């Protein structure tokens, strides 16, 4: 644990007013259901708790990592040498009578969609069926059906690497396909205002149902342990973005498994934890898939799922 001062848990309790949990199994906080123990774990339920826990970890030189719902993550079999901070800071409100909604980062996408339906606000229908929090979605510019959350973000508040709460506009995030600046700058996203438009509740609901139906046809059902699409859809030299599954299908990915990890039969871009898979099983299977696609097509697949090595230090 590097240069950790021995009094970190006590100092944390004194400052945050809540105790850290110790030796917490990360598989219980990941939809992949994989991962060993984190040295420390804290679930923040308010912005001050979140900010204080980050600043304290920095002060004590404890590596830390923020998680939302754990739907896009692969934890290490050895867990994490440091502090995992789960962001459960939730809250949604409409801005006056405008078609604008403010959401705190730990808000579930599911709740954001339901709120939009209740208020007759349209735009987020494409998010239906994407599990996780607003924070996780903004981090990776989550999307589906050609839409992504970044398009709707108007302004936001972040905690900068220097520890300041800063207001920023959409441009700051440099949103691209499954990308925002958050990964590069290590900012923590705290909240955002999203611009939607007014619509008819019944029509919004109907579009959501339609999207959920489309997803049902090839996505694994909720009870399957996975972290969504494993690879990003690559861009070919001619500029076309092609589904990773197109290449994976052609290299017979669906027949592959390593240990307890297997490629989902209904969609070749999902690696699933079929039977007590280890993170190593998943990583080896992913390498095998990448190798086959590279060899046959000269295309380099890039992981969409984020692997957190046990010994990572906070950048
Ligand atoms: C069955 C299934 C289907 C899916 N379908 C889709 C899909 O159609 N489209 C899509 O885009 N994704 C999809 N995903 C992936 C996943 O749902 C999204 O990436 C989602 O946004 C993850 O949110 P989360 O809260 O679980 O983030 P986590 O997995 O907990 O974290 C993901 C990353 O976000 C960072 N992060 C989280 N909160 C913050 C914050 N407040 N500030 C800074 N960084 C933060 C974490 O550090 C981590 O690096 C799917 C996943 C599953 C399991």
Neighbours of 144 (CB within 10 A): 17
Q: Note the pLDDT of residue 163.
A: 87
3-state secondary structure the chain: CCCCCCCHHHHHHHHHCCCCEEEEEHHHHCCCCCCCEEEEEEEECCHHHHHHHHHHHHHCCCCEEEECCCCCEEECCCCEEEEEEEECCCCEEECCCCCEEEEECCCEHHHHHHHHHHHCEECHHHHCCCCCEHHHHHHCCCEECCEEHHHHEEEEEEECCCCCEEEEEHHHHCCECCECCHHHHCCEEEEEEEECEECCHHHHHHHHHHHHHHHHHHCCCCCCCEEEECECCCECCCCCECCHHHHHHHCCHHHCEECCEEECCCCCCEEEECCCCCHHHHHHHHHHHHHHHHHHHCCCCCECCEEECCCCCCC
Distance of alpha carbon 218 from alpha carbon 254, whole angstroms: 13
Structure confidence at residue 6 as a pLDDT band (50, 70, 90): low
Structure confidence at residue 2 as a pLDDT band (50, 70, 90): low
| CB of 108 closer than 8 Å to CB of 70 | no
| CB of 21 closer than 8 Å to CB of 42 | yes
For residue 3, is pLDDT > 60?
Answer: no
Of 69, 87, 105, the residue that ends a domain is 87
Structure confidence at residue 68 as a pLDDT band (50, 70, 90): very high
Structure confidence at residue 170 as a pLDDT band (50, 70, 90): very high
Of 207, 228, 246, the residue that ends a domain is 207
CA distances to 25, 127, 177, 270 from 146, in Å? 36, 11, 10, 19
Structure confidence at residue 32 as a pLDDT band (50, 70, 90): very high
Q: Which residue range forms the structural domain that includes residue 289?
A: 219-308
Structure confidence at residue 242 as a pLDDT band (50, 70, 90): very high
For residue 314, is pLDDT > 90?
Answer: no
* Average pLDDT rounded to a whole number, residues 7-34: 96
Structure confidence at residue 315 as a pLDDT band (50, 70, 90): low
Same domain, 120 and 44: no
Distance of alpha carbon 104 from alpha carbon 241, whole angstroms: 32
Same domain, 196 and 243: no
Distance of alpha carbon 130 from alpha carbon 113, whole angstroms: 10
Same domain, 227 and 256: yes
Q: Note the pLDDT of residue 217.
A: 86
Structure confidence at residue 5 as a pLDDT band (50, 70, 90): low
Instruction: For residue 15, give the CATH number of its domain.
Output: 3.30.43.10
The one catalytic residue among 110, 178, 207, 257: 178
Q: Note the pLDDT of residue 62.
A: 95
- Structural domains of the chain, count: 3
Same domain, 111 and 16: no
Neighbours of 183 (CB within 10 A): 12
Nearest CA owner, ligand 1 atom 37: 136
Of 53, 70, 87, the residue that ends a domain is 87
* Average pLDDT rounded to a whole number, residues 173-183: 94
Same domain, 168 and 225: no
Residue with tokens 């030189």, as numbered in its chain: 61
Question: How far does the centroid of ligand 1 lie from the alpha carbon of residue 139, in Å?
Answer: 7
The strand pair at 306-308 and 73-75 is best described as parallel
Q: Is 178 a catalytic residue?
A: yes
Asked if the structure places residue 213 within a domain, the reply is no
pTM confidence score: 0.96
Q: Report the mean per-residue pLDDT for the chain.
A: 95
Asked if the structure places residue 2 within a domain, the reply is no
Same domain, 98 and 198: yes
* pLDDT, tens only, 85-117: 999 999 999 999 999 999 999 999 999 999 999
* pLDDT, tens only, 189-225: 999 999 999 999 999 999 999 999 999 988 999 999 9
* Average pLDDT rounded to a whole number, residues 304-314: 92
Question: How far does the centroid of ligand 1 lie from the alpha carbon of residue 296, in Å?
Answer: 30
The strand pair at 37-44 and 80-87 is best described as parallel
Same domain, 106 and 23: no
Q: Note the pLDDT of residue 312.
A: 87
Residues lining ligand 1, Cβ inside 6 A: 31, 65-73, 87, 105, 130-133, 135-137, 139-140, 142-144, 182, 188-189, 219-220, 226-228, 306
Asked if the structure places residue 38 within a domain, the reply is yes
Q: Note the pLDDT of residue 285.
A: 98
| CB of 245 closer than 8 Å to CB of 267 | yes
């Amino acid at each position: 644990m590097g240069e950790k001062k021995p009094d970190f848990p006590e100092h944390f309790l004194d400052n945050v007013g809540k105790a850290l949990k110790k030796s917490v199994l990360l598989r219980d906080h990941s939809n992949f259901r994989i991962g060993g123990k984190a040295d420390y774990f804290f679930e923040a339920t308010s912005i001050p708790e979140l900010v204080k826990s980050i600043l304290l970890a920095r002060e004590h030189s404890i590596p830390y990592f923020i998680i939302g719902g754990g739907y896009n993550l692969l934890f290490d079999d050895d867990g994490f040498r440091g502090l995992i901070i789960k962001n459960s800071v939730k809250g949604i409100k409409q801005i006056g009578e405008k078609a604008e909604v403010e959401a705190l980062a730990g808000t579930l996408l599911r709740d954001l969609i339901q709120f939009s339906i209740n208020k007759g606000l349209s735009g987020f229908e494409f998010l239906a069926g994407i599990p996780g929090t607003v924070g996780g979605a903004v981090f990776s510019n989550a999307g589906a059906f050609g839409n992504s959350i970044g398009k709707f973000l108007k302004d936001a508040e972040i905690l900068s690497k220097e520890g300041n709460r800063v207001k920023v506009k959409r441009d700051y995030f440099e949103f691209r396909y499954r990308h925002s600046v958050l990964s590069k700058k290590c900012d923590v996203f705290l909240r955002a205002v999203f611009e939607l438009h007014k619509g008819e509740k019944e029509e919004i609901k109907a579009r959501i149902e339609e999207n959920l139906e489309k997803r049902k046809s090839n996505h694994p059902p909720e009870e399957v342990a996975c972290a969504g699409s494993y690879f990003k859809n690559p861009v070919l030299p001619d500029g076309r973005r092609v589904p990773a599954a197109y290449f994976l299908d052609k290299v017979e990915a669906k027949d592959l498994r390593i240990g307890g990890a297997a490629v989902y039969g209904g969609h070749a871009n999902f690696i699933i934890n079929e039977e007590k898979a280890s993170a190593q099983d998943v990583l080896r299977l992913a390498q095998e898939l990448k190798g086959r696609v590279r060899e046959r097509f000269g295309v380099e697949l890039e992981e969409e799922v984020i692997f957190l090595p046990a010994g990572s230090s906070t950048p």
